[in-house]
Amino acid sequence: MTIYIDPPTWPGHGRMWSHLVSDVSYDELHTFAEELGVPRRAFERDHYDIPSHRYADAVRAGAVEVSSREVVRLLQGGGVAQAEGAGTGLTPPRPRVLGPGQANWPGW
């Protein structure tokens, strides 16, 4: 099980954000987020938005620090999105990393 987090470099709602992703499954990502106390509303298609003040908590809990470029590579490389959509007849969600000012929730 590996969970990854990029640096909090994405601005939105007056703060900076990181992205929390898994390279194995959404189930492990949701479990990790729940144990960290991240609300489910922070899940955005294939990742969780994590406010900068919670970045160190995620790392202490076991998230591996990687660059934003690496998070994009992990998401676009198929990995979890392809695995989760395999055999379902559904198209896996298109990876989406939020850009400046696009955070979908105000934080916690």
User: Considering the domain boundaries, does residue 47 fall inside one?
Assistant: yes
Q: Is residue 41 part of a domain?
A: yes
10 part of a folded domain:
yes
pLDDT tens for each residue of 58-94 = 999 999 999 999 999 988 875 565 455 443 333 333 3
In this prediction, residue 55 carries a pLDDT of: 98
Domain hosting residue 39, numbered range: 3-85
Number of structural domains found in the chain: 1
- The answer to whether position 13 is within a domain reads yes
The DSSP line for the chain is: --EEE--S-EEETTEEEEEEEESS-HHHHHHHHHHHT--GGGEETTEEEEEGGGHHHHHHTTPEE--HHHHHHHHHT-HHHHHHHTTTTSPPPPP----TT--SS---
Q: Taking residues 12-31, report their average pLDDT.
A: 93
